[in-house]
Structure 1
Amino acid sequence: MTGSLLVLNTGSSSIKFQVFALGRDGPERRLKGLLDGIRVHPHLEVKDEAGTVLLDKDLGDHAENVGAAVEHVLTFLQDALDDGGLVAIGHRVVHGGRRFEGPARITAETLAEIEALVPLAPLHQPNSIAPIRTIQALRPDLPQVACFDTVFHRGHAELADRFAIPEALDREGVRRYGFHGLSYAFIAERLRELDPELAGGRVVAAHLGSGASLCAIQEGRSIETTMGFTALDGLPMGTRPGRLDAGVILYLMQQGWDAKKIERMLYHECGLLGLSGVSNDVRELKASQDPRAGFALDYFAHRIAQETALLATSMGGIDGFVFTAGIGERSASIRANVAKRLAWLGMALDDEANGADAPLISSTDSRIVVRVIPTDEEAMIARQTLKVLDLG
């Protein structure tokens, strides 16, 4: 089949997208794009697979929301594609709840079920839905597929996913779901290619970016993960606190904070930014002379080590550790800081390999294999979309 597949990863103020050509050997990446600054100063940049800039354009006030921004992406692709145009679109959708156990073709019924999950992910889910509706209006003939961040974690035991709360709340959906599942699904597949023996063992994967989490992967399956009911749980992140005593929220409510103020604090003012008072960006924190910046980085590594030990308990041990995502792939100092705190488990790094961001960074005497594997959520979305539509 000829034609192209568009993958959309939509945030509150940006749309990341990639275009894959369809061929006999599976999807082949052709274009990468970013439309950011939606509502403020929208800007569209598109590069080919070699990194050559094909478009670098300010959009003025012509992308006042996510839907309008998607229209600009489709307009560009209509002119840019010469292989028969788009044949399908795959979307990253953060929350699949209990309903979705795999990627799903978008119909009126499935979209209604996705919208019903908005209360579980109020900051993320609407941004996944907006481009779907825009494309339905502009190109109703174009098949769309939802690929969920929660699906990789659907096989957990009840012990991993339940909260110690009244059962009626669990029936309403108040339980642990886990996120970053598309990233972890890619890592599990890639690990089978790179190191089949390790892939069959007990691995903790660390998706460390602005959003951060860990996942216990045993024999290629998610056993437990640090994010829970929302993407606030687990590790501290760029601006999110991670694990937090619920009593803190009760205290703030007693002090007169309303839901909006609490929500803003939890999603935008905590984490590395809140700890440091300097930045939520690890690169800026590493360059800062402010002692609070160093403390924030140590806190981050400390919590990664703590949560790793908890996940190892769920698997009865640990054979390997994988660093991925922006910080995990590119920050040798964070990796070294984490390894130092896990030395008691037998983790040791080869300093030269770690400094070079090598694929294998554990030392020869390390009891734990430590790898750096670049994640590729868009490639996973492309594969899942083609499988659902039987285009592979």
Structure 2
Amino acid sequence: MYILVINAGSSSLKYQLFDMPSDKPLCTGLIERIGTNEALIRHKILTTEPGLTIERKGTIADHAEGLEQMLQLLSDTETGLIHSADDIQVVGHRVVHGGERFAKPTLITPSVKEAIKVLFPLAPLHNPINYQCIEIAEKTFPRAKQIAVFDTAFHQTLPAYAFRYAIPDTLYVHEGIRVYGFHGTSHKYVCGKAMTWLQKPDAKLISIHLGNGCSMTAVRAGQSIDTSMGFSPLAGLVMGTRSGDIDPAIIFHLISLGYSTDDVNTLLNKQSGMQGLTGLSDMRDIGKAVAAGNRSAELALEIYAYRIRKYIGAYAAVLNGLDALIFTAGVGENDSAMRERICSALDVLNIHLDSSKNSAHSSEIRDVSRDQATVKILVIPTNEELEIAVQSYELLHER
């Protein structure tokens, strides 16, 4: 069964093609800078050794044109993997916000599309693009079943005492204001890998997803029981451009200083976090600044790591124990120095990182804790596209 997975961002589109039930992709692709004349497509064919990478640069006006070019690459007469769009049997879509309605992968129908539209205000940067890509894919791959996998779905197992805010009840009942959590597809994938690696289906895990967006999730026996992002992706950890947790009174104070609500929204989502502390949002650039003696950059890294350590302590208490920490996503997988900062001074939780193991590089699951440590520290590469493909395949085989 050919399953094409589409993971769309506001100006980017990641995709992978699978011949399920094999979990090895036939190809992967990334389209960046959509909407500009400097767009880049990087299409990797993985069916041959050592593989073939095709790059194209130029203008891609919108996601529709991006999907059209993706189809051209997939069906190319010389290097293509399919003959036509009709060969694609399933298109799996990452949809960021599913509200309380969607707790599992869902076959897309007109009513499901309308529900995704209703949730636009809760994820204004993501759900409209996800919806647009669904509509484009329906036209591009007319014979394929379209399936939505929601980032918020994994967190629908949160107990009420974890997802409710201490605000008037009517705001939850009528306005849906509660903790939804995000990055659920990534957290689910890496926790599944960890339970298999540990050979412990009832494992107590803390999953730490560190990219430009950052979140943590406490997981017991494969179920999310608490998570750091909340009603929106703004809450929780310090991120590339997002503030994470702040005192809500700061918002009122900023408004009293003359900031509009739009100004505050832009400030907290796009001008804060590491960007606000250092003028830089990429951790690689911040690392270079630290090496050059920049004290503000050094402090920013300590703030970033300290916030994560606070959540580790909180989630270890929530779980009443801990079997493993999981580091994943771009920073979590690749920044060994940040993992060391985070894991320092956690002896009370029996968390002990091995520096030599931590500095080694691998694309596989690896344990970077000391040999005798009771809590494992696992670095697990995430693969949201594979998780979406697996969930889509399983949904169709349940029917």
What secondary structure is seen at the aligned counterpart in 1 of 2:89?
Answer: strand
Matched, 1:76 2:73: yes
Equivalent residue letter for 1:352: S
| Rounded Cα–Cα distance in structure 2 between residues aligned with 1:351 and 1:69 | 43
Matched-pair contact (CA < 8 Å) for 2:11–2:34: yes
1:19 equivalent in structure 2: 17
- Of 225, 228, 243, the match for 2:245: 243
Q: What TM-score, normalized by structure 1, do the two folds share?
A: 0.93
What residue number does 1:191 align with? 194
Q: SS of the counterpart of 2:75?
A: helix
* 1:13 CA drift (Å): 0.8
8 A Cα contact 1:237 1:271, kept in partner: yes
- What does 1:254-333 correspond to in 2, within 5 Å? 254-277=256-279, 279-288=280-289, 289=292, 290-333=294-337
Task: Return closer, same or farther for 1:51/1:89 CA change in 2, 3 Å cut-off.
Answer: farther
Per the TM alignment, residue 59 of structure 1 is displaced from its structure 2 partner at its CA by 3.0
| Alpha-carbon distance, 1:86 to partner | 1.3
Structure 1: stretches of 5+ with no match in the other structure:
none
In structure 1, which of residues 212, 221, 232 is the aligned counterpart of residue 234 of structure 2? 232
Q: Which residue of structure 1 lines up, in the alignment, with residue 393 of structure 2?
A: 386
Q: Deviations over 1:119-162 (max 9, x none)?
A: 11111111211111112233333211100111111111101000
What does 1:125-204 correspond to in 2, within 5 Å? 125-171=127-173, 172-197=175-200, 199-204=201-206
Which residue number corresponds to residue 94 of structure 2? 92
Structure 1 residue aligned with 2:374: 367
| 1:276 to partner: Cα distance | 1.3
Question: Contact between 1:91 and 1:147, CA under 8 Å: does it hold in 2?
Answer: yes
* Contact 1:329/1:357 (<8 A) preserved: no
Corresponding residue to 2:29 among 33, 52, 59 = 33
Identity %: 34
Separation in 1 of the partners of 2:309 and 2:103? Answer: 30
Name the residue aligned to 2:106. 104
Question: Deviations 1:11-66 (Å, cap 9, x if unpaired)?
Answer: 111101111123xx434301111111111222211012367443211232xx2222
- Asked if structure 2 preserves the Cα contact closer than 8 Å seen for 1:12 and 1:66, the reply is no
**Aligned counterparts of 1:214 and 1:333: Cα–Cα separation in 2:** 19
Aligned to 2:58: 59
How many residues matched? 384
User: Over aligned residues, Cα RMSD in angstroms?
Assistant: 1.8
SS of corresponding position for 2:91: strand
Q: Is the CA contact 1:239–1:267 (under 8 Å) kept in the aligned structure 2?
A: yes
The two structures have a TM-score, normalised by structure 2, of 0.92
Paired AA for residue 15 in structure 1:
L
**Distance of 2:355 and 2:96 partners within structure 1:** 36
Secondary structure at the aligned position of 1:341 is classed as: coil
